[in-house]
Amino acid sequence: MLALAVTTGLHVTAVYVNHGLRGGEEREAEAVRNNAEQLGAGFEVRQVRVGEGPNLEERARLARHAALGPAALLGHTADDQAETVLLNMIRGSGLHGLAGMRTDDGRRPILAIRRAETRALCSAIGLELTEDPSNHDPRFTRNRVRHRLMPLLDEIAERDVVPLLCRLADIARQAGDHLDLEAALIDVSNAQALREAGPVLAPLAVRRWLADHGELGHPPDRATIDRVLAVARLDAVATDVGRGWQVRRSGGHLQLRQIHPPPDERSEST
């Protein structure tokens, strides 16, 4: 991606994010620096600290993206997209998860290129290749998908399944975007309108409604959405939706309100 970006005439800076999780980062950073200098690009190192513990892969990803900022271009490939679709599938994701990473956000310009093609290009123009050793660590689910599941699927299908999974992601994204537009027309605060929306659009409308409230953190899971729908169906008067927030029905309308500060804020105030 760095090489391709330079050829477009952009002002390019390569950023190496050091997570501080293992040894060898200095050598890797030097390799990125050398490649950037060879191509005439700038270079930066940004430090983040991610301690050992649960959800290490996700916490490292979030820290890396925060360090890079929202305008940074990301080098995900079609192989990464296929792995993401499978990861979301085995985690029980719905239509939006099957869409994988968006191809239209402008941040992933090489998402249609295969990983092997990126390696071939780097070799052809004399760039030094480095391999993150954590990419082979079986503790991480993505690595088990990459090194075990993907080859098994290729063997069973007797073909390369990456294009199939990427096509599935495109179809799911288009369908999801269309349904999101329909769901956006639903007045979620109106319990009757939500009941009449049906089993496809109603959950999407609730998901969007809750996700638009940044105070809730991550988008809601399906169990949370189902509890809100139960309130709309008159099966319950109220339900907690996380981080001290509650959806309550009053006079045929749903209200989202904070009933107490989230745990982290309570601990800071005591």
- Helix (H, G, I), strand (E, B), or coil: what is residue 244? coil
pTM: 0.85
- How would you class 162 by CB atoms within 10 Å of its CB: exposed for 0-12, middle for 13-18, buried for 19 or more? buried
Name the token pair of 155.
């063997």
Inter-helix orientation angle 162-183/198-211, to 10°: 80
Tell me the β-bridge partners of 256: 247
CA 164 vs CA 34, 59, 83, 126, 154: distances in Å: 37, 30, 12, 32, 11
Q: How confident is the model at residue 263 (pLDDT cuts 50, 70, 90)?
A: low
Residue-by-residue DSSP string for 133-201: GGGG-TTSHHHHIIIIIHHHHHHHHTS--HHHHHHHHHHHHHHHHHHHHHHTTS-TTBHHHHHHTHHHH
Classify domain 74-183 by CATH number: 3.40.50.620
User: In the predicted model, is pLDDT for residue 267 greater than 50?
Assistant: no
- The 10s digit of each residue's pLDDT in 176-203 is 999 999 999 999 999 999 999 999 999 9
pLDDT of 58 reads 80
Tell me the β-bridge partners of 45: 16
Q: Domain-by-domain residue ranges, the chain?
A: 1-71, 74-183, 185-269
- The 10s digit of each residue's pLDDT in 128-153 is 888 888 888 898 899 999 999 999 99
